[in-house]
């Protein structure tokens, strides 16, 4: 009997693979969705600044102000589209949306810069989009600062306190660093949890579970056999997402790839145990789908730090987000990929995820019915 | 000890009393029929025996294994075929068989002799998806899958419902062969004509067993004489018969009306005369042998 056990198990997994590969819709969801979602999040839902239209009011018009303008233009962030001639034009150009930012040079810019060591530039931004406005101001500020020092203004002190902001790890504030981990969490969560939940619920709905129950298969056989193919597929998906992030979106890979894959693997198992849990409490595919969508997708998007920073949430929501499995995964892979840290910095996240796996699996095995109803 | 023992088994759902404390035993190697209309409690009983449902009270055992305590053992020795087609429609005939053989830690080759005859009929379609088979083929495949691990007991829940007459006949012929292999078979069916193909039958209605006997025994116990009346306008005759005081029961069976009377002095001739006097001149009355269905109707009438 013992040597036939792997046989039973592999037979089950083989059957599951056949279900997946015979259903074109399932196949499309499994392999099409990750790529589509990644590209959509990558190109559409982006909050970084690129080619922002700006207006220039150059009251000086000397070589130095023109040099700074062309430096701004060559940075890749700004395109000077409009040149203004009076202060009165500033508001209309911002209002009409032709420019997101206006740069104003004071008269005799070069002279003041070199003689008085104190030249003024005014930056006016359209703060009806506060995030964009502050990003633009930051970018412009840092470009102007580096311009000033390049032109021998090292001893120059425009204010008693010199603030130098450095955006560590993501110095260009690229949103790709944010959404690749987030999308990965979302896709792995949805795919693995929802697909397993649905496929177990489908057996209940079609009545095949009835036949499986009246067989020597143990619940663990049934569940593991169901889950195994999805572990493989989800892992392949994780690799595809990482590869796309790396090649298409220039995501850095600073930490150890092995550790990253280990963390992903733990998260996949966690998502699966969640899926199994959902399937034990839902009788039909519809219910399983509903639970997965509402119970997994929305919290993943909203509470995991994927879209909204956890630090900015009200305290109650911060507590709630601690219960969201993807939060720990996102935090861990960011630490590994972007900060390049090792296991010493992600063990907490790993432990929490493993704890959640144990919790959901125990609960599922307790709730798994060896009989009908 | 008999392979199937059912003792005062009761089960009720929220609103329905599905089984009201029934008892019977099935002997070794017997083809035992559970005959009753929809909603009689057949499926509930078979599911309890298959260890899929828990009874409220009472006990049942299969080859000495209690259906509640020893459900692990039961699941090794039972072949179960639910009333609804419960195989994987997106797998082929061959893949379904392989899968179920694997589930029981067996192979198709190991017990091939058991399913040989059935599988022979399926062989031309072995690459076809199970969902694309005809109703009769589906049932044959389901039976093969239930047999693939050579169960000691076969529990079949309405295996011939929704299957054409030829396939039904073939199916019962297969059950006969399996019986010859020594497998004890419990089969439920709403079709009374299938009753005579069983060794013994239990007539079940509204969660109660009306009678357990051989088909012949059940017929022999039919208490009255049974008359068959053929007439062109059977509906009005049926209504007329039911108003007569001498008529105990009258049912329409196809084109014929089956009548029992409470008066033992009635003969074919007197019944014919009685009907002629009431205007039903061109009817023929004969004394007929009761069928299981007649017995069932009669027992059901007593039960109400």
Contact criterion met (CB below 8 Å) for B83 and B101: no
Q: Is B88 in CB contact (< 8 Å) with chain A?
A: yes
Q: Report CB contact under 8 Å: A372, B84.
A: no
Same domain as B246, residue B274: yes
* CA gap A286, B99 in Å, rounded: 26
**3-class SS at A150?**
helix
Strand partners, A54: A80, A101
Same domain as B270, residue B207: no
Report residues of chain B scoring pLDDT below 50: none
Q: With beta carbons under 8 A apart, name residues in chain A contacting B72.
A: 216
Burial of B86 (0-12, 13-18, 19+ CB in 10 A): buried
Same domain as B164, residue B86: yes
Same domain as B249, residue B155: no
* CA gap A251, A255 in Å, rounded: 12
CB within 8 Å of A37: residues ≥ 6 apart: A183, A186, A187
| The pLDDT of residue A12 | 86
| The pLDDT of residue A335 | 86
Q: Report CB contact under 8 Å: B90, A1.
A: no
Same domain as B260, residue B113: no
Q: Is A202 in CB contact (< 8 Å) with chain B?
A: no
Most B CBs within 10 A among A208, A211, A218, hence the mutation to make, goes to: A211
Q: Report CB contact under 8 Å: A7, B105.
A: yes
Q: With beta carbons under 8 A apart, name residues in chain B contacting A10.
A: 102
Each residue's pLDDT expressed in tens, for chain A with a length of 373 residues: 344 444 677 888 889 989 888 888 888 888 888 888 888 877 765 556 677 889 999 888 888 888 889 988 888 888 898 898 988 888 888 888 888 888 888 888 888 888 877 788 888 888 777 777 777 888 888 888 888 877 766 554 454 444 455 555 555 555 667 777 888 888 888 888 888 888 888 898 888 988 888 888 888 888 888 888 888 888 998 888 888 888 887 777 788 889 999 999 999 999 999 998 988 888 888 898 888 888 788 888 888 877 777 777 888 888 888 888 888 998 898 888 878 888 888 899 999 999 999 999 888 888 887 777 6
Q: Report CB contact under 8 Å: B95, A15.
A: yes
Same domain as B145, residue B68: yes
Minimal CA–CA distance to B146: which of B188, B175, B180, B167?
A: B175
Same domain as B160, residue B113: yes
Minimal CA–CA distance to B83: which of B183, B167, B190, B165?
A: B190
Minimal CA–CA distance to B58: which of B16, B26, B31, B18?
A: B18
Domain boundary among B180, B198, B219: B219
Q: Which residue of A has its CA nearest to B81?
A: A211
Query: Residue B264 maps to which CATH number?
Result: 3.30.70
User: Would you tell me how many other CB atoms lie within 10 Å of the CB of residue B72?
Assistant: 12
Domains belonging to chain A, first-starting first, are: 12-45+175-367 (no CATH), 52-150 (3.40.1710.10)
* CA gap A26, A16 in Å, rounded: 12
Same domain as B292, residue B203: no
Q: Report CB contact under 8 Å: A211, B80.
A: yes
Q: Report CB contact under 8 Å: A371, B98.
A: no
Domain boundary among B170, B187, B219: B219
Q: Which residue of A has its CA nearest to B76?
A: A216
Half-sphere exposure in the Cβ direction for A336 (13 Å, CA): 24
Contact criterion met (CB below 8 Å) for B210 and B37: no
Contact criterion met (CB below 8 Å) for A265 and A272: no
Q: With beta carbons under 8 A apart, name residues in chain B contacting A12.
A: 99, 102-103
Phi, psi of A25 (to 5 degrees): -65, -45
Q: Is B176 in CB contact (< 8 Å) with chain A?
A: no
- Tell me the nearest-neighbour CA distance from A222 into chain B, angstroms: 10
- The dihedral through the CA atoms of B163, B167, B173, B175 has a sign that is negative
Q: Report CB contact under 8 Å: B75, A216.
A: yes
| The pLDDT of residue A45 | 58
- Tell me the nearest-neighbour CA distance from A368 into chain B, angstroms: 13
Minimal CA–CA distance to B167: which of B194, B148, B185, B199?
A: B194
Same domain as B177, residue B44: yes
| The pLDDT of residue A160 | 42
* CA gap B4, B67 in Å, rounded: 10
Show which of residues 183-222 on chain B sit within 8 Å of chain A, judged by CB atoms. none
Contact criterion met (CB below 8 Å) for A117 and A155: yes
Burial of A65 (0-12, 13-18, 19+ CB in 10 A): buried
| The pLDDT of residue A3 | 43
Q: Report CB contact under 8 Å: A211, B86.
A: yes
| The pLDDT of residue B64 | 92
Domain that includes residue B295, residue range: 222-303
- 3-state helix, strand and coil shares in percent for chain A, rounded to the nearest 5: 65, 5, 25
Please determine, for the modelled complex, whether the ipTM score is greater than 0.90. Answer: no
Query: Residue B55 maps to which CATH number?
Result: 3.40.50.300
pLDDT, tens digit, 9 for 90 and up, residues B193-227: 899 999 999 999 999 999 999 999 998 888 888 88
Domain boundary among B174, B189, B219: B219
Same domain as B284, residue B153: no
Same domain as B252, residue B190: no
Same domain as B159, residue B27: yes
Q: Is A6 in CB contact (< 8 Å) with chain B?
A: no
| The pLDDT of residue A352 | 94
CA-CA-CA-CA torsion for B111, B116, B118, B124, nearest 10 degrees? 120
* CA gap A168, A179 in Å, rounded: 17
**3-class SS at A175?**
coil
- Tell me the nearest-neighbour CA distance from B281 into chain A, angstroms: 55
| The pLDDT of residue B80 | 93
Q: Report CB contact under 8 Å: A210, B90.
A: no
Minimal CA–CA distance to A329: which of A248, A238, A246, A249?
A: A238
Q: Report CB contact under 8 Å: A207, B82.
A: yes
Sequential DSSP letters for A195-230: HHHHHHHHHHHHTHHHHHHTSS--HHHHHHHHHHHH
Number of domains within chain B: 2
Of A8, A212, A371, the CB nearest to B105: A8
Contact criterion met (CB below 8 Å) for B89 and B38: no
**Tokens (6 digits) for B39:** 């909603």
Q: How many CB pairs under 8 A join A and B?
A: 80
Q: Report CB contact under 8 Å: B99, A15.
A: yes
């Amino acid at each position: 009997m013992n040597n036939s056990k792997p046989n039973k198990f592999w037979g089950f997994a083989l059957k599951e693979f056949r279900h997946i590969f015979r259903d074109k819709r399932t196949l499309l969801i499994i392999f099409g969705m990750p790529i589509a979602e990644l590209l959509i999040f990558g190109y559409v839902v982006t909050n970084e600044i690129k080619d922002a239209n700006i207006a220039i009011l150059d009251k000086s018009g000397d070589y130095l102000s023109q040099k700074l303008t062309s430096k701004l233009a060559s940075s890749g962030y700004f395109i000077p589209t409009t040149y203004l001639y009076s202060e009165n034009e500033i508001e209309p150009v911002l209002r009409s949306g032709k420019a997101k930012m206006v740069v104003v040079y004071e008269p005799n810019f070069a002279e003041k810069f070199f003689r008085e060591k104190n030249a003024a530039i005014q930056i006016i931004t359209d703060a009806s989009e506060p995030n964009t406005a502050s990003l633009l101001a930051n970018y412009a500020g840092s470009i102007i600062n580096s311009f000033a020092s390049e032109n021998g203004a090292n001893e120059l002190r425009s204010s008693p306190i010199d603030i130098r902001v450095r955006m560590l790890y993501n110095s260009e504030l690229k949103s790709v660093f944010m959404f690749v981990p987030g999308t990965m969490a979302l896709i792995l969560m949805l795919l693995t949890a929802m697909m397993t939940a649905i496929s177990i619920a489908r057996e209940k709905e079609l009545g095949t579970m009835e036949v499986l129950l009246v067989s020597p298969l143990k619940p663990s056989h049934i569940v593991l056999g169901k889950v195994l193919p999805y572990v493989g597929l989800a892992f392949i998906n994780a690799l595809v997402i990482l590869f796309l992030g790396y090649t298409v979106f220039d995501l850095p890979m600073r930490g150890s790839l092995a550790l990253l894959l280990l963390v992903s693997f733990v998260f996949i198992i966690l998502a699966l145990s969640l899926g199994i849990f959902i399937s034990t409490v839902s009788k039909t595919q519809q219910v399983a789908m509903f639970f997965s969508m509402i119970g997994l997708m929305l919290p993943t998007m909203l509470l995991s730090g994927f879209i909204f920073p956890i630090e900015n949430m009200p305290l109650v929501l911060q507590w709630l987000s601690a219960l969201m499995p993807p939060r720990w995964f996102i935090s861990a892979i960011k630490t590994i990929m972007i900060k390049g840290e090792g296991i010493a910095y992600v063990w907490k996240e790993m432990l929490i995820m493993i704890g959640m796996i144990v919790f959901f699996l125990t609960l599922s095995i307790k709730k798994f019915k060896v009989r009908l109803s | 000890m008999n392979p199937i023992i059912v003792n005062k088994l009761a089960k009720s759902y929220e609103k329905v009393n599905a089984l009201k404390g029934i008892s019977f035993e099935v002997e070794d190697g017997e083809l035992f029929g559970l005959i009753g209309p929809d909603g009689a409690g057949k499926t509930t009983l078979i599911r309890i025996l298959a260890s899929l449902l828990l009874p409220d009270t009472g006990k049942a055992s299969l080859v000495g294994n209690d259906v509640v305590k020893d459900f692990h053992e039961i699941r090794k020795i039972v072949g179960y075929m639910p009333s609804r087609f419960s195989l994987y429609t997106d797998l082929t005939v061959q893949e379904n068989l392989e899968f179920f053989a694997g589930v029981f830690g067996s192979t198709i080759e190991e017990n091939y002799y058991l399913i040989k005859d059935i599988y022979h009929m399926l062989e031309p379609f072995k690459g076809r998806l199970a969902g694309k088979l005809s109703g009769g083929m589906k049932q044959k495949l389901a039976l093969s899958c239930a047999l693939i691990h050579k169960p000691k007991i076969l529990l079949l829940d309405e295996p011939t419902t929704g299957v054409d007459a030829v396939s039904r006949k073939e199916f019962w012929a297969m059950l006969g062969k399996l019986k010859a292999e020594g497998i004890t078979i419990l089969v439920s069916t709403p079709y009374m004509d299938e009753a005579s193909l069983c060794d013994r039958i239990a007539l079940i209605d509204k969660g109660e067993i009306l009678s357990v006997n051989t088909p012949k025994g059940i017929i022999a116990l039919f208490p009255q004489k049974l008359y068959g009346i053929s007439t062109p306008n059977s509906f009005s005759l049926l209504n007329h018969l039911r108003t007569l005081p001498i008529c105990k029961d009258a049912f329409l069976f196809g084109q014929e009306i089956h009548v029992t009377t409470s008066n033992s002095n009635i003969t074919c001739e007197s019944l014919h005369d009685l009907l002629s006097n009431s205007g039903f001149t061109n009817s023929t009355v004969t004394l007929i042998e009761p069928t299981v269905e007649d017995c069932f109707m009669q027992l059901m009438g007593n039960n109400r």
